[in-house]
Structure 1
Amino acid sequence: MKNFKRQKKITFTMEKLLFGTAGIPASSSGPTAVGIGDVKKLGLGAMELEFVHSINISKEKAPEIKKAAEQNNIVLTCHAPYFINLNSLEKPKLKASIQRILGSARILNLCGGWSVCFHPGFYQKSTKEEAFERVKKAIKEISETVKEERNNVWIRPETTGKETQFGNLDEILKLSHEFSNVMPCVDFAHFHARTNGKYNSYKEFCEILGKIEKSLGKRGLENMHMHITGIAYGEKGEKHHLNLKESDLKYKELLKALKDFKVNGVAISESPNIEEDALLMKKEYEK
């Protein structure tokens, strides 16, 4: 594949900013391997495998998907199942959460993929400090297991859309300092929703990117996994996704900030219209 370069470490970084779809395009007849070809035909460069309800690709099917991605020069990411809480006090739930992330990482690696993202969990009755320590312990197990298995994918805890969820930017950046194969998945709609309408201007987008650069250095901007979508929200945060033009997200200002900060990586459209917004962003970015 031409869109990334291997590093001395087990992970790899990107050479440009690619736009892609969350799942196969809505216009595609599928299955996944066909959808990857359709992503290429649309002129996009990435696709996120949606494991949000279950890891729906088998070990046997993965080589076919890897071949399709390589033939079409498409970078693959994946979203691990929603049913994850690395702050759970119930051992069976914690173990299952860890295994869902590891299972996603294993299949993605077999598919030749780049980055697995996930929602880390909920604070519940824990303090933020207690939650951080539990999540860190779980991610340490995930990080070490992935390394032992010589798995090349990045592990990406995602910035989340509700105050009840673990995963503000400070927490995700702090985790990224702890482990060499852990980096943020930055969801800009979640920023906007979590703060009930803030983080929606060029200045604020630059603030986010500047904070990432200050914390992680240039590598933090040269290796970004992002989600971008319109979003409905209220006082409690995220409600549901919207198409960009039906939302108040100032995506043009966001794309200008990404360009000005010379961000590389993958920007995945999670809008209901999937590829339409991915193409909208790509066209705006390339102006």
Structure 2
Amino acid sequence: MAHSKLLFGTAGTPHSSRKKSSIEGIRRIHELGLGCMELEFVRGVKMGEKTARKIHDTSRSENVKLSVHAPYYINLNSMEEDKVKSSIERIYKSARIGALCGADSIVFHPAYYQKTDPVKVYQKVAQMLVEIRTILDDEGINVTLRPESTGKGTQFGSIDEILQLSAEIEGVLPCIDFSHLYARSKGKVNSYKQFYNVMTMTEEFLGREGLDNLHMHVSGIEYGNGGEKKHLNLEDADFNYMDLLRTFHEFDIKGLVICESPNLETDAMILKNKYQELKKQQ
């Protein structure tokens, strides 16, 4: 589903919400003038259908777009068959409840390489995603599956891999986590030129439609030799978010920018305001 503009929001309920519930989080997003929120199912899908429908109604009335982050414990390349089945089930549950909430996108970390040939891992992940997609389509669960670009070299999810999956499989599009790209590359993907290259690649794989329906994560981040260590606030990190925002403007992209900084709405507001300043300068 193409978006009409670029929206900024938080990964989970803003800290300044009256209560820690998703419904209060959506209301707070609206009050702050932000446009989206990611529902965090990262510890498991514990939400019931009744709550999901209330969230759907609230997001509609407050005009806040929603996405879902599926549980962290997903590995479509596990050597243990029961763990693959559990991973599929977690994505399915996230999609089913997420759709009831009114979320369009289901974000997840797809797999670990586990010392397997990356080409074979890719083939296995692709096969699993086709299977999940078939189940969702058969049940009329109309969401986009979004494998996320990951922050560690041990994790499946390079930018090439997730763009290739998205180009090959209907109903799959990327979640581009720019902080993860930065951490995975040990600080190399951190300039206007590098961000521009990512946008160019995205357009080459997915066309203009891909740029009109992006889902992205942005935050400060700390990395080591293995890649991502922890998220940081923008002001405490060397992540060059201003150049990233310039490429957003240059390509006139649309979709959701989810801020995962520890201070959530503070950095989400910074990103939104800086982006709007760039647009005014045009």
Given residue 128 of structure 1, which amino acid in structure 2 is its aligned partner?
P
RMSD between aligned alpha carbons? 0.8
From 3, 16, 19, the equivalent of 2:5 is 16
Aligned-partner Cα distance in 1 for 2:218–2:6: 13
Q: 1:109-258 alignment to 2 at 5 Å?
A: 109-258=99-248
The equivalent position to 1:26 in structure 2, one of 4, 15, 31, is 15
User: Is there any run of 5+ residues in structure 2 with no aligned partner, and where?
Assistant: 278-282
Paired position in structure 2 for 1:67: 57
State the AA in 2 paired with 1:133.
Q
Give the aligned residue type for 2:192: Y
Kindly provide the CA deviation profile for residues 242-279 of structure 1, in whole angstroms up to 9, marking residues without a partner as x: 00011001101100101110110000000000000000
How many Å separate the matches in 2 of 1:125 and 1:188? 25
Give, in angstroms, the shift of residue 13 of structure 1: 2.0
Question: How far has the Cα of 1:35 moved from its partner?
Answer: 1.2
* Paired positions, count: 276
Q: Distance in 2 between matches of 1:162 and 1:235?
A: 9
Distance 2:110 2:52 in 1: 25
Q: Equivalents in 2 of 1:16, 1:169: separation in Å?
A: 23
- The separation in 2 between residues aligned to 1:188 and 1:177, in whole angstroms, is 19
1:273 pairs, out of 259, 263, 267, with 263
Counterpart of 1:49, as a letter, is L
Shift, 1:174, TM fit: 1.2
The two structures have a TM-score, normalised by structure 2, of 0.96
Aligned-pair CA distance for 1:229: 0.4
AA aligned to 2:183 is A
SS in structure 2 of the partner of residue 196 of structure 1: coil
Quote the residue 2:280 is aligned against. Answer: none
Residue 92 (structure 2) pairs with residue 76 (structure 1) = no
Give, in whole Å, the separation in 2 of the partners of 1:203 and 1:222: 21
Instruction: For residues 68-93 of structure 1, give each alpha carbon's deviation from its aligned partner in whole angstroms, at most 9, with x where no partner exists.
Output: 00000000001000000011121100
Deviation at 1:34, TM superposition (A): 1.4
Q: Distance in 2 between matches of 1:223 and 1:276?
A: 24
* Secondary structure of 1:95's aligned partner: helix
Quick one: percent identity of the two aligned structures?
A: 47
Q: Distance in 2 between matches of 1:243 and 1:56?
A: 28
**Deviating 4+ runs (over 2 angstroms):** none
* 1:117-164 deviations in Å (ceiling 9; x for gaps): 000010002100110111111101111111111112110000000111
The answer for the alignment partner of 2:83 in structure 1 is 93
Query: Which amino acid counterpart does residue 60 of structure 2 have in structure 1?
Result: E
Gaps in structure 1 of 5+ consecutive residues: 1-11
SS in 1 for 2:97: helix
Q: What amino acid is the match of 1:107?
A: I
